[in-house]
Amino acid sequence: MLIYLNGKLVEKEKALISVFDHGLLYGDGVFEGIRSYDGLIFKMKEHIDRLYRSADAIQLKIPLTKDEMTKAVIETLKANKLNGAYIRLVVTRGPGDLGLDPRKCKAATIFIITDKIALYPKEFYQKGLQIITAKTKRNLVAALDPRIKSLNYLNNILAKIEAIKAGTEEAIMLSYNGYITECTGDNIFMVKDGSLITPPADVGALEGITRDAVIKLSGHAGVGFEEKMLKMDELYSADEVFLTGTAAEIIPVTAIDKKKIGDGKPGRTTLKLWEEFRKLTKTDGVRYDL
């Protein structure tokens, strides 16, 4: 496997960064997870735009233009002969010293990993996930803007540990005042009386690329949509619940905190949106040839 590292393609064993890199020391950096399907990098422009917005928000200068970054992603995919892949694009503050001062980091570190991924076993897409509500609360929006896709994921990891201990794959994270935000790695949607509902981003959720795609698809699928502040009792009484994310795509949830959702099976609206989403992955993005 070849890794793009600061302008060069290197074998993964030689893809090394400094122990003084502030991405490692302090989680000071940003990233994107991107998918390619059959030679098409899905929603490439949207992902690259979000990467640069996140970098701007933490005053991190990326030493490549957006076009150059896109070419670097394509170059890495071609080098690894991957027609379909998961792409992890990371930009850190770069090597500095043991202090927090970002001015000590003279140049950003950029690396791109392209590989296969299967976030959940196939059976969960057919039968649905059982998830829990985490006790770990989502970071305050005023403390860390959820629109920044940063390398600092400890908040999410603590909630993920709760899910693992409970024998499940995912956990819902609530805001400090008990509103649903998102899961540890995915956005969350519910369907009630034929209408699609998801929490607004400003409650503490990432503005997911797949989330936005599903919102737009709901109109084409003839499904009503609204953003709404949600409490857990509303989610428990939903007709359907599903999660969205680049790696997860669209995955149904059939039980939350051991409470059955709807009839305990993946719902009709979820499956319809999944079909529309699969069509979208064949058309919306940047093409490349191996």
The CATH number of the domain holding residue 273 is 3.20.10.10
In a domain, 187, yes or no: yes
In a domain, 72, yes or no: yes
In a domain, 154, yes or no: yes
pTM across the whole model: 0.95
Q: List the domain range (segments joined by +) for residue 171.
A: 122-280
Three-state DSSP string of 127-156 = HCEEEEECCCCCCCCCCCCCCCCECCCHHH
* Domains in the chain, number: 2
HSE-up of residue 19 (Cα within 13 Å, Cβ side)? 0
76 and 182 share a domain?
A: no
Print pLDDT tens along the chain (290 aa): 999 999 999 999 999 999 999 999 999 999 999 999 999 999 999 999 999 999 999 999 999 999 999 999 999 999 999 999 999 999 999 999 999 999 999 999 999 999 998 888 889 999 999 999 999 999 999 999 989 999 999 999 999 999 999 999 999 999 999 999 999 999 999 999 999 999 999 999 999 999 999 999 998 878 899 999 999 999 999 999 999 999 999 999 999 999 999 999 999 999 999 999 999 999 999 999 99
Q: What is the rounded CA–CA span in Å between residue 93 and residue 66?
A: 18
In a domain, 285, yes or no: no
Last residue of a domain, one of 115, 149, 166: 115
Last residue of a domain, one of 64, 81, 115: 115
Supply the residues annotated as catalytic: 149
Last residue of a domain, one of 100, 115, 130: 115
